[in-house]
Structure 1
């Protein structure tokens, strides 16, 4: 395989793994703390490779997530596209932050993501339990340093550059 195909395949596989982790069956007590795997993966790749992973990738990945979760078509696509846009616009600043500041920046992006999803839920009349709604943001922030290091290792291993 050519390096170009291998590079695209590496990014694609990380997104497929994130989609799988987002829909894998779990008990309800654990599913409420499920991190936002797809959103974090989109944030990482759009910060690391903003010219390769952009709004189109976020939109298509969001549509796939909508289909896999059975949610309103375009709901996750909209939210992922918005956070990809924010991530691309701020990538030069956020990438040089220490990991703890990067975690806070990613947390803010995930809050925007969850607000957009909440807005769609409100428009469609499916209001979730707000006492548990924000927990995935916290678990995602706790896992961000590990996911960041893993995806950075994959990016370096595949020699993906901007």
Structure 2
């Protein structure tokens, strides 16, 4: 008999918090620098629980993000699914890297995420306005240590028995 794969409630709460951070109002000057919170959370949980957080979770979360941001449906969903797939492929190595090396991988994953999200925009005739489109790659990379340590602490407190 197979057991059902379920997502633990602390993981769901962090995904909802990341969605909330994606739409929370911030000053116009800071808006281009908003980190990709949902992508960071998905990267961490896919790395920590590869058997529970997968491509379908990333795709559904991306559809929610597309809906909340009013963007082309599937734009972020496909990009997050691809990034999560890559994390699932490299998670055994990624888990043992120190945080500064993980930051390099996260920077590459964020650049890929932004590139994949840019593709449908270009096809539909809505290319980004400026080079500031790529600023979340930098801010997300810089936010990775904070996200990593917060989620690791949460995992150790609430979810240690699932690893």
TM (normalized to structure 2)? 0.93
Q: Which residue of 2 aligns with 1:123?
A: 123
TM (normalized to structure 1)? 0.94
Structure 2 stretches lacking a partner, 5+ long: 1-6
Q: Which residue of 2 aligns with 1:106?
A: 106
Q: Which residue of 2 aligns with 1:3?
A: none
Provide the C-alpha distance between the structure 2 equivalents of 1:130 and 1:47, rounded to a whole number of angstroms: 32
Provide the C-alpha distance between the structure 1 equivalents of 2:140 and 2:96, rounded to a whole number of angstroms: 20
SS in 2 for 1:71: coil
1:96-127 per-position Cα deviation (integer Å, ceiling 9, x unaligned): 11110000001101111000011111011101
Root-mean-square deviation (CA, aligned residues, Å) is 1.3
Superposed structure 1 runs of 4+ greater than 6 Å apart: none
1:128-162 per-position Cα deviation (integer Å, ceiling 9, x unaligned): 12310111110111110011000000111113433
Structure 1 stretches lacking a partner, 5+ long: 1-6
Q: Which residue of 2 aligns with 1:52?
A: 52
Aligned ranges 1:1-162 → 2 under 5 Å: 8-160=8-160, 161-162=162-163
Question: C-alpha displacement at 1:8, in angstroms?
Answer: 1.3
Provide the C-alpha distance between the structure 2 equivalents of 1:159 and 1:115, rounded to a whole number of angstroms: 33
